[in-house]
Structure 1
Amino acid sequence: MMISRRHALCGTAATAALLTAGATSAFAADKVYRIGITLPLTGADAEAAHLILNGALLAIKLANSSGELKGITLEPMVLNNATATAGQYDPAQAATNARKLVGDKKVLANVGPEMSGSGKAMAPILSMADLATITPSSTAPALTDPQFAGEFVPGGKPIYFRTVTTDAYQGPNMANFYAETLKVPSVYVLDDSGAYGVGLADAFAAQAKVKGIKVLGRDRLDPKAADYSAVLTKIKATNAASLYYGGTMQAAVKLVKQSYQIVPDIKKGGGDGILSPEMMTAAGFPAAEGWYATNASPHVVDDPKLASWVALYFKTYGVQPDDYAITSYDAALVAIAAIKAVIKSGEPLTASNVRNAVQTVKINGLQGPISFDKYGDLSTRVVAVFQFKQNKAAPLADMDKQSIYIGVAPQS
């Protein structure tokens, strides 16, 4: 089923008034079904996760208010993938949440997770139940790689779909940017020991070598450690021209602060794990100044065509969206389009039938056309590059104002 871009951008004053109802309010529709939303809503990545959460909630609310579901009401089932013990996303908690999703026969699909480590814990459980998840941000290639189907797709059919590209493109394309745009002769590569960070750093390092950049070293950070001065002093001794970090904000906050003290003058960058409000609110300026980061999606939040949607998002949630709020909105649109396709077909409204519809769905989302290959990966593979630049006139957590869009990373 095709959803038009015009439909994706709908947002009249009457619709906006309907958005004041909370995610857990009672529904009066004939039948209530649920879409899961699984994100690390507390801990090191909570600010970014809430921007993503809002995107999915907005799509669900608009679908309910439009009446397009013909007597069906969708209720968000929001689950926190983080724990206080981990201080960030926790794969064990993500697995617990996956079991909650598959244990509820009213759950038709899931939006999330944010992190690939959570995805690796959830995918086998969701696969055995034939429950589709559409991630707006997790990028580890292994989750959809047929080589690992036995581990992550034991049920046989693809259940892990993405509205972003993968680190098979995000890492190498950023290496191309380091070589072709920054023209650095050497780099030192770090990761945060997580599934996402290790895979991203591996992909970056491999392409950096292809592009003739000398990889002077590779180290793994303990995200719970407080002091990274030893590894940063080692990097300083190598005279590396640049640093690349694969990982999320738990380690990044400390890395950004301490690298500013020890290696202030080298080029620094990372993936979408650091393109987060926590770079400004937790790491802070001037330490974050000049860092580069990528999105595994097009940069469209500034597109004038999306102005009404951005205004509606801000009016509803009181914060500016980022690009992953948009990919989350699009992920929910995919689930909604699949549900509508099943309703139209006359087949029973089950998670398995919705999964089948997700596989072949085609929509025009906020970011543009969305469809999936046979493994669940997004057909388009755009990687956007940003640089953190302090704007003292703007709110500190405003991603759109505290970072500047550089452009699309050179494709491999």
Structure 2
Amino acid sequence: MHSTRLFRLGVPFVAGAMALCACGSRDQGDGDSASSAGTTVTIGFDAPLSKDLAAVGLGMKNAAELAVNQANKNHTVPGVTFKLSAKDDQATPTIGQQNAAAFAAADDVVGVVGAYNSSVSAAMQSTLHDAGIVQVSGANTNPALTRGADYKTAPKRQYDNYFRVITTDDVQAPVAAEYFYRDLGIKKIATVDDKKVYGAGLVKEFTEAFLKLGGKIAVHQSINPDESDYASVVGTVKSSGARAVYYGGEYPQAGALKKQLVAAGFDGPLGGGDAVKDDAVVPLAGSRAADGLYTTSDGRPVEDLSSAKSFISAYQAAGYSEPYGVFGAYTYDATNALIQAVKAAAGAKAGAVEDLRPKVVKAMGSVSFPGATGQVGFDEYGDSVNKVISINTVKDGAWQDGIKVFTK
């Protein structure tokens, strides 16, 4: 069990600097006056760092690490040095829950950034909540994580420690439905999901919106994401009369599905959510077969945002071998949101402050700042206040981002 007395914070101000005294690990760094006088606290990080989704997870980890390194260099929280502790959940809920338990048991962990998969975060939430640890994601989009299963008719905050800086499937899926129906002129579509929380939820939202517009769902199918042969699904879709496919799932399976659809003679577009928007999906599908992929992604293309220029240049200067990907900038903002919450909690008032973790949870709800992806802040459910969706497509074997942008 973790200690219930996580930190005793002294907040004396000496020459304008706050010294943070704690029972966490002491920094034995490079002799920097602020860090050597203070304390090292740990930010946990959880994402898939191996197997199929490693490319996206490693980009997220790098972005979180960049935020931590910048906070330390800039002394964002005087007297505090941050350390990132990254754990690999392999996109598996049970492993994510084990990682959450390990973070909860470590007295120096002040918050957790992650997870990537909504299903993994669903498995982590109660453990982190019971430990009083704030959790903030730059990738989770399932609405139920914040507002419960009845999020449309009776939304209710599920865990007061859970936040995200990215908008949700009930925003992005209707945008996709509108684009397919109105812009692409698709009136009859097949839907496919991977049976996961994210994928199934995305297809549910898309279906409701598409039907409301007057469209028809020709057939609904599910795949096993652990398999790679989708011949049965492809055959069913092809014979259904559908003119397009909407897929709820992630880029490794989306690439394989698109490749097999084209090989079977199905030439309609394939749509998907933000988890399909990855550079790796093009070689997985094949540059020719990848044409006609359409995805939604949160916000405007990062490369088009003036607010993201410093993040992009710093990421490139850091020399990371993996690209930051679709969720890198959001994870960067999520990590900085947590750092700002620690700053607010540690500097709330002079004197001893018990249990830093709950203080950080409380402070997180009031965090607001201009981030790389736009304005970072949270509504009463812990959801992002920034609700902008872009449409992207693959043409001539390359992504064309932000071909249309919706603001909700």
Cα separation, 1, equivalents of 2:209 and 2:368:
32
- Residue identity opposite 2:344 in structure 1: A
How do residues 117-128 of structure 1 correspond to structure 2 at under 5 angstroms?
117-128=119-130
Q: Does residue 1:381 correspond to 2:390, yes or no?
A: no
Q: Do the aligned partners of 1:172 and 1:207 also contact (CA within 8 Å) in 2?
A: yes
Q: Alignment partner of 1:360: what SS?
A: coil
CA contact (8 A) 2:268 2:292 kept: no
Q: 2:290–2:394: 8 Å Cα contact kept in structure 1?
A: yes
Alignment partners' CA distance in 2, 1:335 and 1:237: 50
**Residue identity matched to 2:389:** V
Q: Does 1:351 align with 2:351?
A: no
CA contact (8 A) 1:45 1:278 kept: no
Match of 1:192 in 2: 194
The 5-angstrom pairing of residues 228-377 of structure 1 reads 228-316=230-318, 317-346=320-349, 347-348=353-354, 350-377=356-383
The one-letter amino acid paired with 2:63 is G
Contact 2:172 2:296 in 1 (8 A): yes
Instruction: Please give the alpha-carbon distance, in whole angstroms, between the structure 2 residues aligned to 1:138 and 1:155.
Output: 16
Residue by residue, what CA displacement relative to the aligned partner does 1:25-70 show, whole Å, maximum 9, x if unpaired?
A: 9735331101111000111111111121111111110000011211
Can you list the C-alpha shifts for 1:276-308, whole angstroms capped at 9, x where unaligned? Answer: 132024333122122001113332322245334
Matched-pair contact (CA < 8 Å) for 1:174–1:409? no
How many angstroms apart in 2 are the aligned matches of 1:156 and 1:247? 24
Which deviates the most, 305-314 or 106-115?
305-314
* Amino acid aligned to 2:357: A
- For residues 178-231 of structure 1, give each alpha carbon's deviation from its aligned partner in whole angstroms, at most 9, with x where no partner exists: 112111111000000111000000100110000111111111111122321122
Q: 2:374 touches 2:386 (CA, 8 Å); kept in 1?
A: no
Find the aligned partners of 1:345 and 1:324 in 2 and give their Cα distance: 31
Whole-angstrom distance in 1 between the partners of 2:289 and 2:29: 47
Match of 2:132?
A: 130
Cα distance in 2, alignment partners of residues 105 and 155 from structure 1: 27
TM superposition score normalised by structure 1: 0.84
Please name the residue that 1:39 is paired with: 47
Q: How many residues align?
A: 368
Structure with max Cα Rg: 2
**8 Å CA contact 2:252, 2:284 repeated in 1:** no
Structure 2 Cα separation of the partners of residues 390 and 55 of structure 1: 29
Displacement of 1:322 in angstroms is: 3.5
What is the CA-CA distance between 1:146 and the residue it aligns to? Answer: 4.2
Are positions 1:407 and 2:404 aligned together?
yes
Partner of 1:208: 210
Q: Distance in 1 between matches of 2:284 and 2:338?
A: 34
Residue 383 of structure 1: SS of its match in structure 2?
Answer: strand
Of 40, 51, 56 in structure 2, the residue corresponding to residue 48 of structure 1 is: 56
Looking at structure 2, the residues matched to 32 and 359 of structure 1 have their Cα atoms a distance apart, in angstroms, of: 24
The Cα shift of 1:323 comes to: 4.1
2: CA distance, partners of 1:125 / 1:263: 48
Structure 1 residue identity aligned to 2:325: D
Quote how far apart the aligned CAs of 1:168 are. Answer: 1.0
| Contiguous gaps of at least 5 residues in structure 2 | 1-26
> What is the CA distance between 1:390 and its match in structure 2?
4.2
Opposite residue 353 of structure 1, the aligned amino acid is K
Give the direction of change, closer, same or farther, for the CA distance of 1:262–1:132 in structure 2 (3 Å limit).
same
Q: In structure 1, what is the Cα distance between the partners aligned to 2:71 and 2:299?
A: 24
Q: In structure 2, do the counterparts of structure 1 residues 156 and 197 end up closer, same or farther at CA, with 3 Å as the change threshold?
A: closer
1:131-164, CA deviations, whole angstroms, 9 ceiling, x for partnerless residues?
1111101111111114579xxxx99751221111
Q: CA separation in 1, counterparts of 2:298 and 2:259?
A: 25
CA contact (8 A) 2:137 2:164 kept: yes
Name the SS of the counterpart of 1:216 in structure 2.
strand
With 135-144 and 256-265 compared, the bigger mean Cα shift is at: 256-265
Contact 1:343 1:349 in 2 (8 A): no
Given that 1:47 and 1:277 are in contact with CA atoms closer than 8 Å, whether structure 2 keeps it comes out as no
Taking the aligned partners of 1:337 and 1:323, their CA distance within structure 2 comes to 23
* SS class of match (2:52): coil
In structure 1, what is the equivalent of residue 175 of structure 2? 173
The 1-side partners of 2:193 and 2:82 are apart by 39
CA distance in 2, matches of 1:330, 1:299: 15
Evaluate the alpha carbon distance shift between residue 155 and residue 372 of structure 1 in structure 2; reply closer, same or farther with a 3 A threshold: closer
Tell me if the contact between 1:342 and 1:349 (Cα under 8 Å) persists in the aligned partners. no
Q: Distance in 2 between matches of 1:231 and 1:157?
A: 37
Distance of aligned partners of 1:63 and 1:328 in 2 relative to their CA distance in 1, 3 Å threshold:
same
Partner Cα distance (2:268, 2:407) in 1? 21
**Which residue of structure 1 aligns with residue 89 of structure 2?**
81
How far apart are the structure 2 equivalents of 1:277 and 1:226?
19
TM-superposed CA distance for 1:114, in Å, is 0.6
Letter in 2 for 1:45: L
When normalised by structure 2's length, the TM-score is 0.85
1:183 to 182, 185, 188: 185
Report how far residue 410 of structure 1 moved.
Answer: 7.2
